[in-house]
Chains A and B, each alone.
Chain A
Amino acid sequence: MSNPVYRPNRRALLRGTAAAGAAALIGTLPARRLMAQDAPAKPAEIIVRAWGGSWVDALKKGVSDPFTAATGIQVRHDLTEDNEIQPKVWAAVAQGRVPPIHINWDTTTNATKSALRGVTEDLSDLSNLANTTELAKPVGLDGYPIVNTYGYVYVLAYRPEAFPDGAPTSWKALLDPKFKGRIALYNDGIGFHFPAQVAGGGKLEDIPGNMQAAWDFIAQVKQQQPLLGEDPDFTAWFQNGEIDLACTISTNAREAKKNGVDLAWTVPEEGAKFDTDGLWIPKGLPENELYWAKEYINFAISKDAQQVWCDGLGLPGVVPGLTPPEDLVGDPSYPDTPEEMAHLIRISTKVQVENESEWFSKFKEIMQG
């Protein structure tokens, strides 16, 4: 007689995962909202703008699929770049049209611009906000026009082969002549302005009034002929052996490493920029769609959804008590203690929103010269 060991096939496993997710969602959302007779009509789908690759995979697994399993509402992910969807949403709201998406997964800085422009719905009534940390609250704005969902760090990613004596300890490693032409930054310098201020001998308290130290340091980096690009470029450049060092978000570095690229990352002694992403809903949606879009965000900040979503991203969420992924325990890019947070650079969103355009221009001026 054969051993009656149950071996689930992939389909059964997926069914099981969806059922577990649905159970978690039903346990998380107030029964009133899901079961109430007066709940508004469900739309066939809701559209969530997202970043591609591992970002959307994590969102799908942690939030979208369980939400669909519980509500029957399909979730479509629109992978239009966050910067490119912004003017479309702004134009739709200004012209009184229904916006092209229900939910925007956005950087907090970009989302704050939309909030200041008055195109975001208020999310203060989400019940799960009561269980979140202060990180979920957008700083300097009334109420919750955005709900921050996790934090992330712009780390210094490097090829271990190029650093046989161990990880670089300072951003000044970018100035080492042997790395000339083999370093990369974001093409607007995002993530690098603040550590450059420290590495250049300046003070964080002087931001935004006096950032000469940052510009001087960036001018030195320019002499190293850096490549300037976006997340996918960094992965490709590391993969093709074009670069040895890059300032990038830890999620991208982690994903590249998972895909077999020989890569490591560190938070140098000067610190690294810490920022947040969030979810928001544009104005102009029909009432029932607005209701279910809010339910989606409410679920996204539940502990179960956060655990899976943030595990996929390798980032700290906004709900207390989440377990870090095994490979990131003690990693400075996954700050979960006050000491680790103290080592990171966090500048107020208001200052960033008001000055970002000028910083980007200054960075471009140096790099295009």
Chain B
Amino acid sequence: MPNPSPDFRYPLRWRLMDGVERLADTLWPRSMSRHTGWLFITPAILLVGLLVLGLIQIGDASLRVLDTATFLPSEDWSLTNYRKALASSTYLTVAWRSLSGAVLVTVLTLILAFPYAYALVRVRKAWIRKALLITLFLPFFIGQVVRAYGWLIILGNSGMVNEALSLVGVAPMRLLFNYGAVVFGLVQYMLPFAVLLLVPALTAIPEETETAAGSLGASWPRILWHVLLPMAKPGLIGAGLVVFTLTLTDFAVPAMLGGGSQDYIANAIYDQFFRTADQGLGSALALMLVAAGSVLVGLVFMVFGAGTLAMGGRK
């Protein structure tokens, strides 16, 4: 085999790639290749580790009782804060409101998000798809607090809706500062999240499946019930879990649209940390919220699987 000419040089890209390979070999020798998976997962482990450390600190704080003579936490551990939280009718009311509100918001959001996502996937005209996408993404540019203030302006006693109602002779009515206003605000906030999580699941359903069902005599409602919804289940579960957990822990919407009497657990936790300086009780409430959310999500995982959140892994 003839020797290459002394002037021969490999292309620049090849040489660069060789350099990168040599560097990678120095930093992570081939003998370590069986541990490469751990290398990739290290950032995630560090991140989760930090969260766990924080939780341990919160756990420690939750076991210490505030002494109102010195405003210092007790030296000893006890379950007093947990007992106090469980014995309080206020926290039970707030917890029930948060849980039932999260379920209601999840159901309403999925009902509204499904047709929107379906239209986004199936619509043929590009401009309609673009319009739907812009309408979906626009709220992402506006923070939750600003959006809630927007609703204060629109739904207030002197707001646009009441102004419009007055044109047809309806007296101004209180549309804000009640449970309905909080649920409405949360559904509006969660809708884009749900649509974005449903779109991939609906995209994966071939349109021919619907055509085949129709050609066998199924009406559209039957196609929806027997074909689309079962096939979209992973998307519905993923979207439902995200909406449920975000709603369960929401602070701003109940605070702003609830008029102070529709608190969720996050508002009660804020009060303990920042209003009464009782970080022990606040920590106990925070851990109970984490536990309740985790158990409920775990139950959904066990019964229905993780949906699209499983990223194609084994259910």
* Identity of the chain A residue whose Cβ is nearest the Cβ of B93 in the assembled complex: A368
Interface stretch, picked from A54-62, A98-106, A109-117, A150-158, is: A109-117
CA distance A353 to B89 in the complex (A): 23
Among B88, B260, B276, B279, the residue within 8 A (CB) of A227 is: B260
Given A227-B177, A353-B68, the answer on whether A367 and B261 have CB atoms closer than 8 Å is yes
Whether the Cβ atoms of B277 and A113 lie closer than 8 Å is yes
Given A83-B275, A368-B261, the answer on whether A354 and B94 have CB atoms closer than 8 Å is no
CA distance A117 to B277 in the complex (A): 11
Q: In the complex, how many angstroms separate the beta carbon of B115 from the nearest chain A beta carbon?
A: 35
Among A113, A114, A225, A242, the residue within 8 A (CB) of B156 is: A242
CA distance A2 to B68 in the complex (A): 72
**At the interface, yes or no: A229 with Cβ under 8 Å from chain B?**
yes
Whether the Cβ atoms of B94 and A117 lie closer than 8 Å is no
CA distance A222 to B278 in the complex (A): 26
Among A116, A188, A356, A360, the residue within 8 A (CB) of B69 is: A116
Q: In the complex, how many angstroms separate the beta carbon of B178 from the nearest chain A beta carbon?
A: 9
**At the interface, yes or no: A81 with Cβ under 8 Å from chain B?**
yes
* Identity of the chain B residue whose Cβ is nearest the Cβ of A186 in the assembled complex: B260
Whether the Cβ atoms of A87 and B263 lie closer than 8 Å is no
Whether the Cβ atoms of B260 and A187 lie closer than 8 Å is yes
Among B260, B274, B279, the residue within 8 A (CB) of A229 is: B260
The 0/1 profile, CB within 8 Å of A marked 1, for residues 275-308 of chain B is 1111100000000000000000000000000000
**At the interface, yes or no: B259 with Cβ under 8 Å from chain A?**
yes
Given A83-B274, A87-B273, the answer on whether A228 and B259 have CB atoms closer than 8 Å is yes
Whether the Cβ atoms of B72 and A117 lie closer than 8 Å is yes
Q: In the complex, how many angstroms separate the beta carbon of B171 from the nearest chain A beta carbon?
A: 13
Q: In the complex, how many angstroms separate the beta carbon of B251 from the nearest chain A beta carbon?
A: 13
Task: Report chain B residues within 8 Å CB of A228.
Answer: 259-261
The 0/1 profile, CB within 8 Å of B marked 1, for residues 328-369 of chain A is 000000000000000000000000011011001100110111
CA distance A318 to B288 in the complex (A): 46
CA distance A114 to B268 in the complex (A): 22
CA distance A87 to B156 in the complex (A): 35
Given A227-B177, A357-B68, A368-B263, the answer on whether A242 and B157 have CB atoms closer than 8 Å is yes
CA distance A187 to B273 in the complex (A): 15
Whether the Cβ atoms of A360 and B158 lie closer than 8 Å is no
Whether the Cβ atoms of A188 and B259 lie closer than 8 Å is no
Q: In the complex, how many angstroms separate the beta carbon of A226 from the nearest chain B beta carbon?
A: 8
* Identity of the chain B residue whose Cβ is nearest the Cβ of A117 in the assembled complex: B71
Whether the Cβ atoms of A367 and B157 lie closer than 8 Å is no
Whether the Cβ atoms of A87 and B279 lie closer than 8 Å is yes
Task: Report chain A residues within 8 Å CB of B174.
Answer: 181
Q: In the complex, how many angstroms separate the beta carbon of B209 from the nearest chain A beta carbon?
A: 49
Instruction: Give the size category of A's interface with B.
Output: 20 to 34
CA distance A241 to B279 in the complex (A): 37
**At the interface, yes or no: B271 with Cβ under 8 Å from chain A?**
yes
Whether the Cβ atoms of A368 and B271 lie closer than 8 Å is no
Q: In the complex, how many angstroms separate the beta carbon of A11 from the nearest chain B beta carbon?
A: 36
* Identity of the chain A residue whose Cβ is nearest the Cβ of B94 in the assembled complex: A368
CA distance A364 to B275 in the complex (A): 12
Whether the Cβ atoms of B260 and A360 lie closer than 8 Å is no
**At the interface, yes or no: A9 with Cβ under 8 Å from chain B?**
no
**At the interface, yes or no: B215 with Cβ under 8 Å from chain A?**
no
CA distance A56 to B159 in the complex (A): 30
- With most chain A CB atoms within 10 A of its CB, the pick from B94, B156, B177 is B177
Q: In the complex, how many angstroms separate the beta carbon of A129 from the nearest chain B beta carbon?
A: 25
Q: In the complex, how many angstroms separate the beta carbon of A261 from the nearest chain B beta carbon?
A: 13
Whether the Cβ atoms of B259 and A360 lie closer than 8 Å is no
Whether the Cβ atoms of B277 and A87 lie closer than 8 Å is yes
**At the interface, yes or no: A240 with Cβ under 8 Å from chain B?**
yes
Task: Report chain B residues within 8 Å CB of A84.
Answer: 274
Task: Report chain A residues within 8 Å CB of B263.
Answer: 364, 368
Among B66, B72, B271, the residue within 8 A (CB) of A360 is: B271
Among A87, A227, A356, A365, the residue within 8 A (CB) of B259 is: A227
CA distance A357 to B279 in the complex (A): 12
Among A81, A116, A354, the residue within 8 A (CB) of B274 is: A81
* Identity of the chain B residue whose Cβ is nearest the Cβ of A83 in the assembled complex: B274
CA distance A261 to B313 in the complex (A): 61
**At the interface, yes or no: A86 with Cβ under 8 Å from chain B?**
yes
Task: Report chain B residues within 8 Å CB of A357.
Answer: 66, 68, 276-278
**At the interface, yes or no: B90 with Cβ under 8 Å from chain A?**
yes
Q: Which of B180-233 contact A (CB under 8 A)?
A: none
The 0/1 profile, CB within 8 Å of B marked 1, for residues 20-41 of chain A is 0000000000000000000000
CA distance A118 to B70 in the complex (A): 8
The 0/1 profile, CB within 8 Å of B marked 1, for residues 182-217 of chain A is 000001100000000000000000000000000000
**A-B residue pairs, 9 tightest by C-beta:** A228-B260, A357-B276, A187-B260, A117-B71, A83-B274, A365-B90, A227-B259, A113-B71, A116-B71
Would you give 29 A-B contacts (Cβ < 8 Å), ordered by A?
A81-B274, A83-B274, A86-B274, A87-B274, A87-B277, A116-B69, A116-B70, A117-B71, A187-B260, A226-B261, A227-B177, A228-B261, A242-B156, A242-B176, A353-B68, A354-B68, A354-B69, A356-B276, A357-B277, A360-B276, A361-B88, A361-B276, A364-B90, A364-B263, A365-B88, A367-B261, A368-B94, A368-B263, A369-B90
A83-B277, A227-B261 are known; give 12 further A-B pairs, CB within 8 A.
A86-B277, A87-B273, A113-B277, A116-B70, A227-B260, A228-B260, A228-B261, A240-B157, A242-B157, A354-B69, A357-B66, A360-B276
A interface residue numbers (CB < 8 A to B): 81, 83-84, 86-87, 113-114, 116-118, 181, 187-188, 225-229, 236, 240-242, 353-354, 356-357, 360-361, 364-365, 367-369
